[in-house]
Structure 1
Amino acid sequence: MKWLRQYGTSNAGRIRLLCFHYAGGTASMFRTWHTLLPDVIEPVAIQLPGRDDRHAEPPYESMSELVPDLIDALTPILDKPFACYGFSMGARVALALSYELRSRGLPLPVKLFVASSAAPALRLPVRGWDESDEGLAAYMKELGGTSAVVFDHPDLLELFLPTVRADLKVVGTCPVPEREPLTVPVRAFAGNDDREASPARMLPWGQETSAEFDLNILPGAHFFTDAGTAQMLGAVTKDLVGVSAG
């Protein structure tokens, strides 16, 4: 299926972990997770259009268009317990997906993991998407996570920017309505040096749930250090192994 990437053995775990990448990112950011998580957890990475092997498809520019199509793609694999992990833009996509699943009476994730994303309740403006190409490129450099090769080759950067801009527009134009919080427990991960999604800016993610909320502060900035990533995956493992055992 064009939306899904399973880098390990498919249908192997007792619980699926749906993984959502950052703006301009690809599913390949999760390509090694099957080697870093126990067999009970089956990571499934989501590949949005407009990138990598879906580069010929136009990227989405609004959450209201993205989420219904995403649900159509995911429904066939919601046949076992699942959790959601979203990084940066992916955190907002995972949240919007969870609310829409609730509104449709479909299965909800057993846990929502969100990383490097300021809490929606703060209603902070999203930078980059409505700026010039130069401004957007500068914002990307500030966040990190984009290979220097992209910035060193203007033709490559020109190809890359429209997808990043569209992804950021998805989040930047997504309304944050007043609504009943989810009953899904949430764990948030913040880099201790992240100015964009600082621990203080991630703390209000707790408003999105009436269940348990935890905030883990990790080494790194917007993108965690290797040690921070290891700590994060350890927390994910502990939570989901506990759910699976239960």
Structure 2
Amino acid sequence: MAEKAKSDSGIVETIKTIFWALLIAGVFRTLFFQPFWIPSGSMKDTLLIGDFLFVNKMTYGYSYASCPSVRIPAVGINVDAKDLCGWLGEGSNERLFGGEPERGDVVVFRHPVTGYDFIKRLIGLPGDKVQLRNGAVYINGQVVKREDGGVFTEEYGPQGPQRHRPRCENGPVGDGGACAKSRYIETLPNGVQYSTLNITTQGSDNTGIYTVPEGHYFFMGDNRDNSTDSRVPKSARGVDYVPYENLIGRADRIMFSSAGRSMFAFWTWRGDRFFKAVE
């Protein structure tokens, strides 16, 4: 009997330990930092498929979107952030301890339509008028300075867990070939510099004028011809204008980066991206 009681006690202690560990991890993720693994190439070459980073949630304060969504389709789990933290005022477009994002920040936010986490660069602030003409960005009628940044080259082939192949400016290339894109260096009005990529001339290079509503933000991917962002309206399941409350946090630094199908495949980690700052 004593051995059984001891065994039962050990099981209870193990359950308690797991419970508190999960609780602490959940609080840490909700209040401070959220891990994020880059699944697509929309932010190349700033962020590559397989980059693993932590998102700083303290930068902009907290809203319902600060709570993580728990989605595990294999076992039928789909708990949305608003189910957990809707009491924080979902729909109010307000935040606790709110901080204002700056133009040029790389931000993780909750997609206004699908509810999934997206990562893009903040281009337009509330009240701004944003337009693209021949691939150049205009903010409030002034062109964003754009300089030649050379050529970005990557190996053509399946990338990441989704095995997507990149689009190339230099036409169709076979697996293992050099997939090239023109690189430009943009400088925003506040002095923030970053690189963007060009693949081809397409409709999204020339747009109408987007007037950013109060309390909302305009985002674009750095890989301009391969990004679903604020240029795409909600009616087409695009990002459209993103409400303040949907901001999750700012991406500041890449911890490590995997060129393989899994972040745990350490033999595929890129040696030049450990603790790399996100610019």
More strand by share: 2
What's the TM-score, normalizing by structure 2?
0.25
Q: Which has the higher contact order (CA 8 A, sep 6+)?
A: 2
What's the TM-score, normalizing by structure 1?
0.28
Larger radius of gyration: 2
